[in-house]
Chains A and B, each alone.
Chain A
């Protein structure tokens, strides 16, 4: 069945590629007549009120027009650095022909100016917030960078808060995001390669990597996958993620995302490639390993004993969050002999008078939790407080005292619900796995859970992310990679980047051994 869907997808992709090739061949040139050009633009953008066309003349009767979008440009720059020098500048009287080179070199007092000769580039230019200067009698136009729009300032990310480490988070503005990265890695080899994706949205997408560290095959693969995207809109990096991921039908994501510049910096320094999409603070990094879901920046910023403990806690949380309800159901309905007598007695007492079997009871509570969680995200912040009170009462006290669910069930759901927040990157897959395991447990007991775990393991080992095995460094086992998998070795022992990630430059640092005793001898 999956084969069929895959084949179908492939044929669809091929069709799209052909379409794209045929669409690319005609490109309209700028004509010499200003009126014609303005007419062209008007017919393309329609009657949009925010597209402003300012017609004026300067020098010895050179007719010109400025085209820009209100709200995306800095009017002060347009007035003082474009219009003023052209109309009142001390050299303006010398201009008697639409000499684009001369005007670009001598008249325009703006830092970034480009000359273009196609109508598409003109339209693309002013839609991106630039100001376009068109002149009668010239078949070239100047695209002057005057972008300035309202944007959010750099704030602490809401989804990934830390105790120790940088509190900067990416914003919706792509240039701010690239600057945050550039500030972390002041290296000429940091490449920020921009392309535009989306036929309607023309969204800027940057591929970021470090030349000399990232494998060229990986960079090429990312670029070619981005090129293949044929869609009319990219509104968030999630669109890109779903178009380029290796296993689109798996419940596990094979592309990582983050809101924090230091995370992206660390990942591209390991040889990964980041994809920044304009308009979203979420930056993608590829390839993704499963163990990455259990790593946080603080693992590396704080000393390793405590952080290792927390990392192990994260792995345990993951197991709890996917297995706790299932194991509870399996043990209480099939394997009572596994429960110590006194606990069994307490549990039986708690279940006394509960009208539903354990499976239905668990299902009700899990569903209630998912409803509450979703409501907590969607509802206006101001009534969030009310929700938490209602949630706590409904989930806990009321349900137990009304005899609808047992007290042990509430404990199980509570620990399951809390555990998922320890591994936010796997939260979506864990929520689905939890229900699958629950159904397996209710029908086949611990045997079912074991079968489910085996199936999950087989599936995980079959996954690849940009030709890297998803379970690396556990499968295939890599002893050096395991320095940063379940446990994190001290930083100075991690001399190499993850195996295979950087073929040209695998070493992080030299034979530096952090041993104060040795240094004293010297």
Chain B
């Protein structure tokens, strides 16, 4: 063989020998982590982690998948993850982890971007993992408590967050990658879903409980599920949910409108001292419940319903914004980010001190409701 052939042979062989996938690991050499919870360490140093791992022992044919819990402590989060290996046969596999639960106190005391760093850096963890705040309990307790339908708590929690974002408009589905996007974006603050334990009949279960509001990288407080809905309106992120009102009845609401589509526009006026934010929402809705004496075919009466609801909605949105302005002084709605993107000159004036400008901004909300459909029935 001549020189050329030998060189070619070496070149071909080296493509095989020096490359290729090297992380060989059989399916039976891994423990699938479905979710994990992070608490502060006991003596206020380090961290305590709780993992929910899928239990292969019981067959899924008989009574569904079972889960097991592993707890570990460490000086850093990664240290705690490695320490968990001491208790399990195989290395923990995070490729299917769906949720990371943070303790309330931990989120208040520590920088969330630093807490999440290890998960964003690791190649196994998906960027679509949800991060939630456990409101009035330890994160470890949250992950080991039961949920109603699914045997795997983490999977159920993730489903609840994704679906509630769409159907009940009571939370915001912010995933791991979005935390960094929002934290690094000028003029915008982070919100994360909050969970708390409630009584369902006799047994305690987990429930999505509005939003956790961050000021910078630290937790500042919470919004209730109802306020979360108006937050979603203002942030142009609402995809569904209900609006209720009454026209004649003064004591209780007797009409339900289901939100189909919403578009929110924000305008701003700057007079040199204060900024004025004009929020315009336009909502398409279906009339789904009507316990009042209204003829749905009469345009006048329907318009009256719309007007009433418009009035109510704009009031609630502006009061939610005002609550955030007064209590947290942080722009979770991303109004500042819109200015940054579309009005650079204004941002140069207000950007450096945006939280102050936002806190003192004048809010005006204009809502518009279009009822598209009244679900077939004319009148009861």
Residue numbers in A under 8 Å from B59 (CB-CB): 349
Is A444's CB under 8 angstroms from B20's CB?
A: yes
Residue numbers in A under 8 Å from B155 (CB-CB): 341
Q: How far is the CB of A325 from chain B (nearest CB, A)?
A: 15
A344 within 8 A of partner (CB): yes
| Residues 349-373 of A at the B interface (beta carbon under 8 Å) | 349, 351-352, 354, 357-358
Residue from the list B19, B20, B60 in contact with A345, Cβ < 8 A: B60
B1 within 8 A of partner (CB): yes
Q: How far is the CB of B64 from chain A (nearest CB, A)?
A: 11
Given A344-B32, A444-B16, A451-B15, A334-B24 contact (CB < 8 Å) = yes
Given A1-B1, A341-B96, A447-B19, A348-B24 contact (CB < 8 Å) = no
Given A1-B1, A348-B32, A336-B25 contact (CB < 8 Å) = yes
Is B21's CB under 8 angstroms from A351's CB?
A: no
Q: How far is the CB of A390 from chain B (nearest CB, A)?
A: 28
Residue numbers in A under 8 Å from B272 (CB-CB): none
Given A336-B95, A341-B96, A349-B60, A445-B20 contact (CB < 8 Å) = yes
Residue from the list A1, A330, A332, A443 in contact with B27, Cβ < 8 A: A332
Residue from the list A332, A348, A443, A444 in contact with B56, Cβ < 8 A: A348
What size tier do the contact residues of chain A reach? 20 to 34
B65 within 8 A of partner (CB): yes
Bound form: Cα–Cα A333–B96 in Å:
16
Residue numbers in B under 8 Å from A451 (CB-CB): 15-16
Residue from the list A334, A345, A352 in contact with B21, Cβ < 8 A: A334
B28 within 8 A of partner (CB): yes
A-B contact count (CB 8 A): 67
Bound form: Cα–Cα A448–B1 in Å:
27
A25 within 8 A of partner (CB): no
Bound form: Cα–Cα A232–B310 in Å:
99
A446 within 8 A of partner (CB): yes
Bound form: Cα–Cα A10–B139 in Å:
78
Is A345's CB under 8 angstroms from B54's CB?
A: yes
| Residues 1-56 of B at the A interface (beta carbon under 8 Å) | 1, 15-16, 19-21, 23-28, 30, 32, 34, 54, 56
Which residue of chain B has its CB nearest to the CB of A351?
Answer: B27
Is B93's CB under 8 angstroms from A336's CB?
A: yes
Residue numbers in A under 8 Å from B24 (CB-CB): 333-334
Residue numbers in B under 8 Å from A332 (CB-CB): 26-27
Bound form: Cα–Cα A12–B251 in Å:
106
A347 within 8 A of partner (CB): yes
Is B26's CB under 8 angstroms from A357's CB?
A: yes
| Residues 480-508 of A at the B interface (beta carbon under 8 Å) | none
Residue numbers in B under 8 Å from A447 (CB-CB): 19-21
Bound form: Cα–Cα A344–B56 in Å:
11
Chain A 415-445 interface 0/1 with B at a Cβ cutoff of 8 Å (1 = within): 0000000000000000000000000000111
Which residue of chain B has its CB nearest to the CB of A346?
Answer: B60
Residue from the list B1, B15, B21, B27 in contact with A347, Cβ < 8 A: B27
Complex A-B: 7 CB contacts under 8 Å: A344-B32, A345-B54, A346-B60, A348-B30, A348-B32, A351-B27, A447-B19
Taking Cβ atoms with an 8 Å cutoff, the residues of B that contact A are: 1, 15-16, 19-21, 23-28, 30, 32, 34, 54, 56, 59-60, 65, 93, 95-96, 124, 126, 155
